[in-house]
Amino acid sequence: MPEDTLKGEFVLNKDGKAETAAPNKPAAKLLEHNHTHNSAGIFSSLCEYPHNISFKHQDEDEEVVLLIRRDFITNLPWILSIFLLGLLPPVLLVAGPIFFPFISISPALSTLAVAFYYLVLAGFALLYYAIWYFNVGLVTNKRIVDLDVPNILVNETSEAALESIADVSFTQVGTIRSIFNYGDVFVQTEAIRNNLEFDRAPEPNLIRKIIGDLAVHE
Amino acid sequence: MNLEDILNFIGQLSSNQDILVKIALILVLLLFTLFTLVLGRQISVLTHLIHQVTFSSVLRGVAYILTILSILLIIAVIFV
């Protein structure tokens, strides 16, 4: 049989051994070690290759590829609330004697009460910030880890190996989400229940692409 | 101390706004101190799960500073 009649995906070389077609490597760039490392900031909601982030039970050869948090714009409601509440004591100091003339407490005690008020606001600001900060998703070169903190007393950790990822998709519904480009990313795994979700994540299309490329490369 | 003395003492207490505010302030400060202790502890636990170089210790420090400030405020209210 002449050699030039053998065509198709598998080509016989001179030694008679089969050669497969070179596979596409769309994610090769992500897994190279000469990529740029970035520094995740205290307000970072998306960071590629953050060199200053580590997590518990991280393997020695495991590298964080992507850090995902909710878009920072989602913190605007509580930031505005705390700012407006912070304006309340000066208003009360002026309007208080007019509307509540029967209330008279010593200046020292009222100063301490105002100090306590601002301390409470600082405490709640720290609480809301901590809930945003620790609600994080990490994509590494081996797995995806999702840490959910619905409130400060509860934390839930889920993880899925890259090779178990079956599908990655995202939704971006509404005007605000479209304007600020954030949405929900869903990672479907082969397990029955273990689906991961990154809600209100920035640049969901980019996250979907990166995770999809990593899963394909695996 | 008979019942009349006790009732007189409660009457004096309720007529003095400063003392009422002090008592209320100390009570809520104690609750807030408990809140800051729990918050500091949970932040410490969570920073072990997800660790960011330098900032994790800053975050823990801020949480514990809040606790210290609330304890100082309790002391200040008691001695004012």
pLDDT in tens, B19-77: 888 999 999 999 999 999 999 999 999 999 999 988 999 999 999 999 999 999 999 99
CB–CB of B73 and A119 under 8 A?
yes
pLDDT at A14 over 70: no
**What is the structure's pLDDT at A77?**
96
Question: How does the average pLDDT of chain A come out, rounded?
Answer: 83
- Strand (E) or helix (H) holding A59: none
Query: ipTM score here?
Result: 0.85
Instruction: Give the separation between CA A38 and CA A45, rounded to whole angstroms.
Output: 13
- Confidence bin at A35 (pLDDT 50/70/90): low
Instruction: Give the separation between CA A95 and CA A104, rounded to whole angstroms.
Output: 13
Instruction: Give the separation between CA A145 and CA A150, rounded to whole angstroms.
Output: 16
Chain A residues contacting B, CB < 8 Å? Answer: 40, 42, 52-56, 103-106, 108-109, 112-113, 115-116, 119-120, 122-123, 126-127, 130, 133-134, 136, 138, 147, 149, 152-153, 155, 157
Q: What is the C-alpha end-to-end distance of chain B, expressed in Å? A: 27
Residues of chain A positioned with their CB less than 8 A from the CB of B43 = 130, 152
Sole residue written with tokens 């910030």: A129
**What is the structure's pLDDT at A177?**
94
pLDDT in tens, A82-100: 999 999 999 988 888 888 7
Smallest Cα distance from A180 to chain B, Å:
26
Residues of chain A positioned with their CB less than 8 A from the CB of B36 = 123
Structure token digits, residue A171: 């939704």
Residues of chain B positioned with their CB less than 8 A from the CB of A127 = 39
Q: Which residues of B27-65 are buried (b: 16+ CB within 10 A; e: fewer)?
A: eebeebbebbbebbbbbeebbebbbbeebbeebbebbbe
- Confidence bin at A32 (pLDDT 50/70/90): low
CB–CB of A103 and B17 under 8 A?
yes
Instruction: Give the separation between CA A8 and CA B22, rounded to whole angstroms.
Output: 88
